[in-house]
């Protein structure tokens, strides 16, 4: 925490239309120092001692601690606190029933051994940005909401963005009920064990209708800002992305006695396909990854009968993605034929491009661009977010904060204190521009 002096406000904080709001924190800290204090509070929750990474999985004890922290932040500021029918947490300044609300926030859960920033940076920055606005003594013309979406990473039940998908109607109750973790515990059972009512799960169109704009701040999961030398960026789009399963089937045989000429070995065909994926991605300016593999019978001295590899590919647009995946599949068929093995390719999941609302994006650029010290590039991302799920229903935008290594979903994920504070101030400027008179 910074030991900088906390300025005293000349007046109490103002609510909507100038109506004073009863806030308990009548001497708000500047956004930067309240950020550091909150960051320190969250830091130990769900951190694994050996790996140094976070294990904040949905509806576990670590998740409950994060949720308790969120509730305390809301109540500590005198905000109206509520949990919606899908377990997402909300904190409100002003009455959301008035509509056209401006909402910001992100998620507090993590991937296995994830970093500290993916998700929590957006939630902590949201509260810190509100503190900054109260310090500026702004007048709110619209209700302001802060949200923590549940189970964004999908680490426990295998599906990402469960909280926002349910709310947006992009996941049905029946599908949600079928989600099961590695121990055979279903999502409703896990929610119930954590003290939530799974009977209320379902689409929440009325809640979304009251939101005029949703802005999610997130640590960048790449190096675009580091390379351009900027602290903060605005998202243009989430790239189209998908997963494809490649099954190479050959013939198991003895590794010592089978002549090379007699083999039907799927492994070399798979290996050449991995290299083809790299080549195609480079050609298209996209990314392609074989990150998971299953081998049968998986014996050191056995030629495999099956090599199953999963391709994850993402590109700036559909045409490029089609070119990469089509190119990889063509190459795989060639290599499979050359090695006498069969190939089957299945698309397991696919998400089309998400273009963030152009008018809101331009508004953010205008607000942030008026500060001549801050150059704010607009960039795409290959990672999925709650903002992407909501974008079909609500005008949505994202702010990215520089990540000097680009590493994410790892304990090495990082953003400097100065950049985090720059993110808080940028978010405060955006919220002031959107919600205040």
Within 255-373, strands assigned E span: 287-296, 302-303, 306-314, 342-351, 354-355
* CA gap 424, 417 in Å, rounded: 11
- Return the structure tokens found at 307: 């090599």
Integer Cα distance of 309 and 319 in angstroms: 23
Other CB atoms closer than 10 Å to residue 69's CB: what's the count? 19
CB of 38 to Zn ion, least distance (A): 17
| Number of shown-chain residues binding Zn ion (CB under 5 A) | 2
Nearby residues of 258 by Cβ (< 8 Å), 6 or more positions away: 303
Stretch that binds Zn ion, among 113-121, 286-294, 315-323, 346-354 (CB under 5 A): 113-121
Are the CB atoms for 138 and 436 separated by under 8 Å? yes
Can you tell me the distance from the alpha carbon of 384 to that of 88, in angstroms, rounded to the nearest whole number? Answer: 18
Count of beta carbons in the 10 Å neighbourhood of residue 6: 14
Q: Of 46, 114, 119, 327, which one interacts with Zn ion (CB under 5 A)?
A: 119
Give the tokens for residue 219: 């640590």
197: Cα separation from own chain's centroid: 25
Cβ proximity to Zn ion: between 94 and 119 the closer is: 119
CB of 218 to Zn ion, least distance (A): 6
Residue closer to Zn ion, measured from CB, 9 or 407 = 407
Q: Are 26 and 386 in contact (CB under 8 A)?
A: no
Q: Which is nearer to Zn ion, 32 or 119 (CB)?
A: 119
* Contact partners, residue 87, CB within 8 Å, separation at least 6: 59, 150, 151, 163, 191, 196
Shortest reach from residue 349's CB to Zn ion, in Å: 18
Name which of 265 and 312 has its Cβ closer to Zn ion.
312
Q: Which is nearer to Zn ion, 107 or 264 (CB)?
A: 107
Residue 388 touches Zn ion, criterion: CB under 5 A: no
CB of 384 to Zn ion, least distance (A): 8
Rounded least distance, CB 397 to Zn ion, Å: 15
- 125 token code pair: 């920055």
Cβ-based nearer residue to Zn ion, 118 or 312: 118
Regarding beta strands 211-219 and 101-106, do their DSSP bridges make them parallel or antiparallel, or are they unpaired? parallel
Nearest distance, CB of residue 257 and Zn ion, angstroms: 51
Tell me whether residue 119 or residue 154 sits nearer to Zn ion (CB atom): 119
Instruction: Work out how close the CB of 43 gets to Zn ion at its nearest, in angstroms, rounded to a whole number.
Output: 17
Place of tokens 């101030």: 425
Q: Which residues pair with 338 in a beta bridge?
A: none
The number of CA neighbours under 13 Å toward the Cβ of 191 is 24
Which range in 28-36, 117-125, 155-163, 182-190 contacts Zn ion by CB under 5 A? 117-125
Residues linked to residue 246 through DSSP beta bridges, in sequence order: 309, 345
List 74, 114, 117, 118, residue binding Zn ion (CB under 5 A): 118
Closer of 133 and 427 to Zn ion (Cβ): 427
Site stretch for Zn ion (CB under 5 A), options 42-50, 119-127, 130-138, 160-168: 119-127
Q: Where does this chain touch Zn ion (CB under 5 A) — which range of 1-9, 115-123, 316-324, 408-416?
A: 115-123
Give the separation between CA 204 and CA 198, rounded to whole angstroms: 14
Per CB under 5 A, residues contacting Zn ion are: 118-119
């Amino acid at each position: 925490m910074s030991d900088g002096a906390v300025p005293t406000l000349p007046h109490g904080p103002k609510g909507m239309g100038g109506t004073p709001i009863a806030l308990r924190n009548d001497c708000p800290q500047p956004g930067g120092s309240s950020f550091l204090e909150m960051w320190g509070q969250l830091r130990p929750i769900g951190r694994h001692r050996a790996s140094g990474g976070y294990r904040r999985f949905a509806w576990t004890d670590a998740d409950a601690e994060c949720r308790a922290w969120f509730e305390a932040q809301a109540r500590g500021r005198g905000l109206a606190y509520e949990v919606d029918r899908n377990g997402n947490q909300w904190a409100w300044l002003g009455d959301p029933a008035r509509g056209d609300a401006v909402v910001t926030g992100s998620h507090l859960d993590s991937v296995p051994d994830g970093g500290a920033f993916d998700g929590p940076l957006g939630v902590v920055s949201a509260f810190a940005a509100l503190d900054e606005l109260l310090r500026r003594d702004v007048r709110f013309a619209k209700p302001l909401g802060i949200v923590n979406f549940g189970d964004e990473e999908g680490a426990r039940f295998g599906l990402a963005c469960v909280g926002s998908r349910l709310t947006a109607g992009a996941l049905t109750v029946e599908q949600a009920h079928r989600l099961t973790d590695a121990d055979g515990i279903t999502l409703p059972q896990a929610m119930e064990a954590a003290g939530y009512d799974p009977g209320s799960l379902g689409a929440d169109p009325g809640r979304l209708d009251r939101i005029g704009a949703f802005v999610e701040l997130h640590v960048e999961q790449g190096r675009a800002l580091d390379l351009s030398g900027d602290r903060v960026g605005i998202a243009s789009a989430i790239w189209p992305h998908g997963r494809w399963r490649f099954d190479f089937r050959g013939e198991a045989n003895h590794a010592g006695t089978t002549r090379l000429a007699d083999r039907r070995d799927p492994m070399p065909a798979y290996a050449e396909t991995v290299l083809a994926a790299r080549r195609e991605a480079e050609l298209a300016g996209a990314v392609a990854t074989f990150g998971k593999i299953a081998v049968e019978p998986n014996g050191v001295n056995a030629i495999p009968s099956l090599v199953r590899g999963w391709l994850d590919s993402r590109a700036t647009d559909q045409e490029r993605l089609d070119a990469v995946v089509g190119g990889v599949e063509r190459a795989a068929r060639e290599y499979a034929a050359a090695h006498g093995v069969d190939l089957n390719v299945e698309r397991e999941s696919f998400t089309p491009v998400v273009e963030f609302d152009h008018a809101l994006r331009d508004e953010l650029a205008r607000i942030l661009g008026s500060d001549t010290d801050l150059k704010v590039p607009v960039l795409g991302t290959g990672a999925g977010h709650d903002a992407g799920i909501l974008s079909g229903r609500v005008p949505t935008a994202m702010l990215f904060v520089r990540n000097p290594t680009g590493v994410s979903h790892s304990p090495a994920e990082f953003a400097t204190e100065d950049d985090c504070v720059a993110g808080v101030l940028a978010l405060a400027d955006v919220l002031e521009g959107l919600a205040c008179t």
